[in-house]
Amino acid sequence: MSQSIQVARTVRDLRAITADWRAAGKTIALVPTMGALHPGHLALVQHAKQHADKAVVSIFVNPTQFAPHEDLARYPRDEAGDLAKLAKANADLVWSPTVDEMYPAGFSTSIKAGSAAADLEGAFRPHHFDGVATVCCKLFNQVSADFAIFGEKDFQQLAVLRQLVDDLNMPLTLIAAPTVRETDGLALSSRNAYLSDAERRIAPALFATLSEAAAKVEAGEPFTVVTAAAMADLSSAGFTKVDYVEIRDARTLGATTSPGRPLRILAAAYLGKTRLIDNVAVGSRD
């Protein structure tokens, strides 16, 4: 017998469901997604169920975080497949609004992301994190979540949203879940579907290069030497463009030259038209 899952498509219906849960004393965890779900997303659902009585998964391809030249129109969508996966994962509710429901006529308020958004992805996608902050603020309020679960693969996004929650005194806890990877190290991402067979064979070099860079930092090599070598290695591996490889303070994402602090190495690079991001911790200090 096939499983099904409850889907809310209006804020009114969503709040009616969550109000009943609240009245019964249930806690709620939210997993925000843009759909095209893969095992990494489903791992987040399991984290949600470990932390709360009810797990809500939002599916919304948010137009405000895409620039005009980016891949909004071709971003992968598979709602029927997503719902089947979430039913099997025992999620309790899917929140799947339309663009008009999320941004009705006359909508004009937005959130400006804080200092964690200032560079890295923020430099290459200047309005991206404002869109992320705005939609997540709405999702947090709509669901009235006690917890929100995000993967570490989008590490800067995690930092931006932690800052949002802290700065605006939001009554929820953000929980970071480890990046889920293929057996060859490639971080799971909906955009991996864009890779050709040849590009897919090259893609694991991103994680391998960052892991090697982390080991060099642990061994005491200068940060600038490590990042320059990593960028050269990615180019040699077949990446067509490297936007950045940076070593940052793991808490604030601020620039640092102190090896004694918790650190993250973050990178973004292109294989053909597909832009991949990844990050690794330096040691186990963060």
pLDDT at 143 over 70: yes
Residue 1 covered by a domain: no
- Whether residue 30 contacts residue 147, with contact meaning beta carbons closer than 8 Å, is answered with yes
Report CA-CA distances (Å) from 182 to 40, 53, 203, 238: 10, 30, 11, 19
pLDDT of residue 284: 64
Distance CA 216, CA 220 (A): 6
Question: Residue 222's domain is classified under what CATH number?
Answer: 3.30.1300.10
Residue of 41, 47, 69, 128 with catalytic role = 41
CA-wise closest residue to 152 among 284, 278, 282: 278
Mark whether 162 and 119 lie in a shared domain: yes
pLDDT in tens, 219-252: 999 999 999 999 999 999 999 999 999 999 998 8
Residue 185 covered by a domain: no
pLDDT in tens, 262-276: 999 999 999 999 999
pLDDT in tens, 81-125: 999 999 999 999 999 999 999 999 999 999 999 999 999 999 999
pLDDT of residue 258: 79
pLDDT of residue 189: 94
pLDDT of residue 245: 98
Mark whether 225 and 121 lie in a shared domain: no
173 pLDDT band, cuts 50/70/90, is very high
206 pLDDT band, cuts 50/70/90, is very high
pLDDT of residue 259: 79
DSSP-H helix ranges across the chain: 11-23, 39-51, 79-88, 99-102, 121-124, 128-143, 155-167, 197-202, 205-218, 223-237
Angle, helix 128-143 to helix 155-167, in steps of 10 degrees = 60
Residue 182 covered by a domain: no
48 pLDDT band, cuts 50/70/90, is very high
Mark whether 167 and 260 lie in a shared domain: no
Mark whether 136 and 261 lie in a shared domain: no
Q: What is the dihedral of CA 218, 221, 223, 225, to 10 degrees?
A: -140
Q: Is 105 helix (H, G, I), strand (E, B) or coil?
A: coil
pTM metric for this prediction: 0.94
Mark whether 214 and 173 lie in a shared domain: no
- Whether residue 78 contacts residue 36, with contact meaning beta carbons closer than 8 Å, is answered with yes
What is the extent of the structural domain holding 217? Answer: 190-281
Mark whether 20 and 136 lie in a shared domain: yes
Distance CA 220, CA 54 (A): 45
Known active-site residue 41: yes
